[in-house]
Structure 1
């Protein structure tokens, strides 16, 4: 069976009904203009296929169309040679040799935007890494940000903040329960029209499938799902914190025999390759302090809803625990900052110095400009004053002789209603007003 061509003349003929626009569309368009092969990757259920369909003009759905899978396995050259471009090969790992076929066709015809591949497993990374050089760009899709789900106005631009523009906007204050509901629901495209309880049931099933099936597929060997579940709960308890593998191993002993170092390391690696775990790397400036900088990453799942599901708590219970709510909100903020940062070619890190100072998020542009972000639940004046003081103190200890001074200091709040620039140079931005 050949790939099915889409109707001629339509701008986006395969875009599904009900498709929600994604910020990553710009990244995908840029990639399609630059190289012949584009790989859209990310966690299961984050919307990779629908994003790819919004740009494809021909499709081969290997997971849902047995005929397309048979054609890809037995007649890959013929299957990939027909129809308008780009051609989407969805879940391409089910017929991995299509990758080499696409590479060969790209070598013959040096045009761009020929093939779109999607996949949630990274086990075939060695294939794409070695045979895609010069032909391939990757676009990582994360779960939706608050802007994409309609829960942020986007009036305050991350790019504008980096450019030093003034910050002024008004918003509405969510309740603690509403914030907890947003965290529990997550940024999954299927969830906005479901109840929070239904979303949480789906997420519990998601983690169960990850532990029972996906880890085995990713690693090629059998794993004990109960042990994987204990590690997921340990990770959830340490979201937005620096937690060593040794600490995670000890914490798995809270509800069973603790996992050894080798097992923890193996599971963490597999969960990262499945795009379930996405740690936040440390930023490494030169410091005035004689104490060495702490270089450990902060633990984050790709969406805080997975952490809440692993812990088995609902929005009311989460809202009633300010410490837990604060950690999960920080993880939600990191998710959104990553989505917005990707769109404007900026990277997100965290920073801790040897004196115990911390910056929750460092946003760094490719040209070296950077800004420091403190993530804060509360927004009353005393809390903001204290956060601003601590943020300025940490930044003052950074050796900026090579980095340059930060272009912005930002306090990103959950419950704020007004985005504004303080007299001390610190900008206060409610997350419900933030966008790229």
Structure 2
């Protein structure tokens, strides 16, 4: 097996476990939670193993007797263990006692939220910085500082390279596979969502084809603010017997419980300066490779602009949307490392849009646009400049993320950063 590749979330876990008794790592199946947690564990209970579930059920006191860090893997398989850990922490709150990993919010929720005892940490698929394709030279932390320092760095990744990263997946177990095996694994991942994960969440699917079509329509809505009604209409085009709206809300809710949806909310400034900002979220699946696979898009099809066969009004530039999804994944990972939040900006009439608004702990923001090109012109920075006139010193930095080779700062101060050169 390949040696473990350190993840961005490792730094967060190292810091939290020196002061907290229990940390839960949560995220979609296959993102690498178990591998990351096992490196810190002295005792492991894998609760996808029925015998180990029965062991904890028969003798919950063994959690108190454990020495070192106890890992409870796939805790949602036995939700009672959440309350057992909470009570154990009440009895002994010294740091680094428990790690829990979970791939779903359990249908049978624990009696207590765990607030004040168990801190939850999100883990996502691998960002570009974690994939080892090149060394980042521009950090989000530096951008959030507002110092606007000169930038440098040269990226070896060109447009076909980014397309390969989109379809190649950020799931550690899928990414190293040959192309055909990778496609088969992604197909299996999607099939498992429909056939196993929904029933395990208490929602057996009567019409699997409809859920699959809804997922495909959602993938086509990547990086848009299309309404859920619009997505449903796209999924059931030409059908007279459409599922009820409550059914599609269930789809959304269960996929969220499985950590498979990763939408970015709309942004509203703290001082409410923009009364006309729209607040609809931008849609993203947890890994752009899932979107590409649902749309049956290969690297050749993406580069040629053909192949998906999905005809919906909101899908106008699929490669651009999926590149934005790849950047969104990276920014979410890096922002979490910096205790920052990611939003997007769109005015109600659509005359001003900014792809990402990253808000740091001090309230200052970094505004980010993505561009599926190597160069940046005046049109690409127009909305960033507009925002600067509205928020003034609140804007720590303005960035255009590209598929180009070089990181640099324009004469107007806007940072131009190839996606592969951005890091935490």
- Give the TM-score taking structure 2 as reference length: 0.91
Unaligned runs of 5+ in 2: 306-315
State which of 364, 369, 381 in structure 2 corresponds to 1:374: 369
Give 2:355's aligned residue: 360
1:38-53 to structure 2, matched below 5 A, reads: 38-53=23-38
1:384-408: CA deviations, max 9, x gaps?
3320123213443x3x37xx43011
The residue number in structure 1 matching 2:319 is 325
The answer to whether structure 1 residue 91 and structure 2 residue 74 are counterparts is yes
Listed as ranges, the gaps of 5+ residues in structure 1 are 1-15
**Number of aligned residue pairs:** 410
Q: For residue 418 of structure 1, give the secondary structure of its aligned residue in structure 2.
A: coil
Q: How does 1:103-118 map to 2 (within 5 A)?
A: 103-118=86-101
User: How much has 1:178 moved relative to structure 2?
Assistant: 2.2
2:54 equivalent to 1:54:
no
CA 1:172–1:113 in 2, change beyond 3 Å: closer, same or farther? closer
Task: Say if 2:410 is the partner of 1:422.
Answer: yes
- The answer to whether the aligner puts 1:147 opposite 2:121 as a matched pair is no
Equivalent residue number for residue 11 of structure 1: none
Q: Is residue 2:396 matched to residue 1:407?
A: yes
In structure 1, C-alpha distance between the alignment counterparts of 2:284 and 2:51, rounded to whole Å: 39
Equivalent position to 2:110, from 127, 137, 142: 127
1:63-118 CA deviation, whole Å, 9 max, x = no partner?
A: 24x4423212222222x233322100111222222222222221111212211111
Q: Separation in 2 of the partners of 1:125 and 1:28?
A: 27
CA displacement, residues 354-396 of structure 1 (integer Å, 9 cap, x when unaligned) = 342100000110110101101111122xx43320123213443
Cα 1:17–1:125 shift into 2, 3 Å: farther
Q: Tell me how far 1:248 sits from its aligned partner.
A: 0.9
Does structure 2 conserve the Cα–Cα contact (< 8 Å) formed by 1:358 and 1:394?
A: no
Q: Is residue 279–residue 301 contact of structure 1 (8 Å, CA) maintained in 2?
A: yes
Cα distance in structure 1, aligned partners of 2:113 and 2:128 = 36
- Separation in structure 2 between the aligned mates of residue 19 and residue 223 of structure 1, nearest angstrom: 41
CA contact (8 A) 1:152 1:434 kept: no
Q: Is the 8 A contact 2:86 2:118 kept in 1?
A: no
State how far apart, in whole Å, the 2-side matches of 1:136 and 1:117 are: 9
Residue equivalent to 2:163: 180
**Structure 2 match to 1:345:** 339
Matched residue, 2:149:
166
Aligned-partner Cα distance in 1 for 2:2–2:79: 29
Any idea what SS the aligned residue of 2:95 has? coil
Name the CA distance, whole Å, in 2 between partners of 1:299 and 1:143: 17
Distance 2:18 2:367 in 1: 33
Report the CA distance between 1:18 and its aligned residue: 2.2
8 A contact 1:93–1:119 mirrored in 2: yes
Deviation at 1:210, TM superposition (A): 0.3
Aligned residue among 223, 245, 261 for 1:261: 245
Give the drift of 1:330: 0.2
Q: Deviations over 1:239-290 (max 9, x none)?
A: 000011111111112375543321111111111111111110011126766x
Aligned CA distance change for structure 1 residues 165 and 292 (closer, same or farther; 3 Å): closer
Instruction: Tell me the SS of whatever aligns to 2:61.
Output: helix
Mapped to 1, the partners of 2:301 and 2:33 lie a distance apart of 32
More deviation in 367-376 or 109-118?
109-118
Deviates more, 1:104-113 or 1:335-344: 104-113
Instruction: Give the TM-score, by structure 1 length.
Output: 0.89
* Alignment root-mean-square deviation, CA: 2.1
**Cα 1:111–1:221 shift into 2, 3 Å:** same
User: Aligned-pair distance for 1:293?
Assistant: 1.3
Determine whether 1:336 maps to 2:330: yes
What corresponds to 2:287 in structure 1? Answer: 303
Whole-Å Cα distance in 2 between the matches of residues 395 and 333 of structure 1? Answer: 22
Query: Residues 251, 126 of structure 1: CA spacing in aligned structure 2 closer, same or farther, 3 A cutoff?
Result: same
Query: Is this contact kept in 1: 2:148–2:397, CA < 8 A?
Result: no
Q: Determine helix, strand or coil for the equivalent of 1:127.
A: coil
- Name the structure 1 match of 2:313: none
Find the aligned partners of 2:282 and 2:245 in 1 and give their Cα distance: 18
